[in-house]
Chains A and B, each alone.
Chain A
Amino acid sequence: MSMIMSDQARRVMTLAGKEARRLRHDYVGTEHILFGLVEEGAGLGADVLETFGVTSTKMRAEVERLIARGPAAPGPRELPLTPRARQALAFAADEARLVSEPLVGAEHLLLGLVREHEGVAGQVLRNLGLKLEAVREAVLKIRVLQMTIVERAVRPVRATTPRKRKMREELLAHLSAIYDEEQAERNDPAAAVRAAAERFGDPTALARELDRSLSWSERVGYVAERWFAWRAPESVLRYAWRLAANTLVVMVSAFFLTLVVTLASVGWNHDIWTLLQVLAALLAFAPPVVFLWTVGYLRMRDAMWGAFGSRRSLGRVWAWSALLALGGWGFAIALAAAADGDISKPAELWPSIAVAGFAAAACSLLAARYSGPMEIRDAIWALLDVSAANGLNDSEPA
């Protein structure tokens, strides 16, 4: 998990350390990080706190009320983070990733503190009258508004997912850069968003231009991908069902194609019979396996990353992986049985079957680990509500 911080976030952490020393604590906790945020004074996190009326004076008073000063000034070495502070930083990294930011910024630190609601920062904010959900909404709102504009421009484009991912990233980088410019001038987030949207242009018109800029290979890729890609907002079960049905169609076509081609060229013999048995087994078993594997993979991935309502749970990851392994074994056994007509094969085949099962689970784990975050980000974009009735003003056509 990337914990690379922006300059601003680094300054916040430095200020946090200074405050900890001032209070004579020998650790850096969530309360010090919150203080650092308020002191840093710039960037989305501090802006939001200001609008809720949290000043550094109020904050300091509240923290000193909750925690006594330490007995003696701590030594010169860098102060360690408390477990809660470390958890808050981990949440901050999560939040950054979820909104396509590779660097952890000050606003993500604030969100991390908000999520770690048992820490002192959480208590301080609550005592100062903040509802934690309100803070989260305020911090995310600007980013979500920016993402909505970009998604309006990119969603209708008929290109493959990787291509659209690049477009989203590039357009969001541009839009957030001009938002930052406008915000620096106006110091009013709502007006800055409007100004940036105005400069950017009408997303719907942009979508048409983007679509026209595609090469033919990208268009072909789009059509091919669409067949088995997830279509927001379908549920996991529905997606798994659709994939299984597509698999059945492919298998049936393969079956008849093979039958026709081999009969025409080679004529009938015993090997053809075996081949047909295997294909028939594939036809019968592949769709249910695809269904179960899809559900298992998605549940395992969501448990690994704590996405879409799933709690982050290593236990669940292992449980789903075990089920995927079982599925792999079952499928391999079924194929072997079909090839030979019975299950009581000599022991030599079982190792390969076991490998098949483990391979299935291992591949799924690797896929979830390495492309999971990207898939989850794609899904978050695809689930954005970009209809006009969500508070955005449409700018003039380009």
Chain B
Amino acid sequence: MEPIHGDKLRGHLETLVLATLERGEAHGLEILHRLEVGGYGLLRLKEGSLYPALYRLEAAGQIAGAWETGRHGRRGARRRIYRLTTKGRRSLERGRGEWQSFVATLGGILAAPA
């Protein structure tokens, strides 16, 4: 499949982040990992750009961030772990609904002529 460039899907990044957090809490690098595994690797998004999206979601109360407490002897700075809030779950459901109608509507129009 052709790689999709960042611009077209950046608007949906926040919903995608909410979706990855549905599986369980994660820190930035792990969220990117889940996105990549889910096929987002085809999207040429720079890793740093994840963080403004996370901060916007946090400011909107859709995710909650907390510094990790245990270190487990792992070297490197402590990480910030994010989890989905109730508000976030509602937003995710809305986002899914919107996406499905989007696909259904456009799908009908773009379908190859019989």
Q: Which A residues contact B (CB, under 8 angstroms)?
A: 4-10, 43, 100-103, 105, 153, 166-167, 169-174, 176-178, 180, 199-203, 205-206, 209-210, 212-215, 395, 398
Contact = CB atoms under 8 A, between A and B. Distances in A.
Given A173-B78, A174-B28, 7 more contacts: A101-B77, A103-B74, A173-B77, A200-B46, A201-B47, A202-B46, A205-B46
A132 B99 CA distance: 60
A153 B46 CA distance: 13
B76 A176 contact: yes
Nearest to A203: B48
A118 B46 CA distance: 46
Given A103-B76, A173-B78, A200-B46, A212 B52 contact: yes
Contacts of B45: 398
Given A105-B75, A213-B56, A215-B59, A398 B51 contact: no
B73 A173 contact: no
A264 B71 CA distance: 62
B59 to A, nearest CB: 5
Nearest to B7: A398
Contact of A7 (B46, B49, B73, B79): B73
A8 B74 CA distance: 9
Contact of B48 (A10, A201, A215): A201
Interface residues of B, number: 23
B55 interface: yes
Given A103-B71, A213-B56, A169 B77 contact: yes
A166 to B, nearest CB: 8
B47 A180 contact: no
B9 interface: no
A6 B74 contact: yes
Given A213-B56, A213-B59, A176 B48 contact: no
B103 interface: no
B78 A199 contact: no
B94 interface: no
A170 B29 contact: no
Contact of B73 (A10, A176, A199, A212): A10
A212 B51 CA distance: 12
B56 A174 contact: no
A102 B77 contact: yes
B75 A7 contact: yes
A171 B73 contact: no
12 contacts: A9-B75, A43-B75, A170-B79, A170-B80, A174-B28, A174-B48, A178-B29, A200-B46, A200-B47, A201-B46, A203-B48, A213-B59
Nearest to A398: B46
A159 to B, nearest CB: 10
B47 A209 contact: no
B97 interface: no
B37 to A, nearest CB: 15
Given A178-B29, A213-B56, A8 B49 contact: no
Contacts of A398: 6, 45-46, 48-49
A114 to B, nearest CB: 19
Contacts of B53: 213
A8 B55 contact: no
Contact of A206 (B48, B56, B80): B48
Interface string B47-72: 11101110110010000000000010
B77 A172 contact: yes
A103 B75 CA distance: 6
A44 to B, nearest CB: 9
Contacts of A167: 51, 55
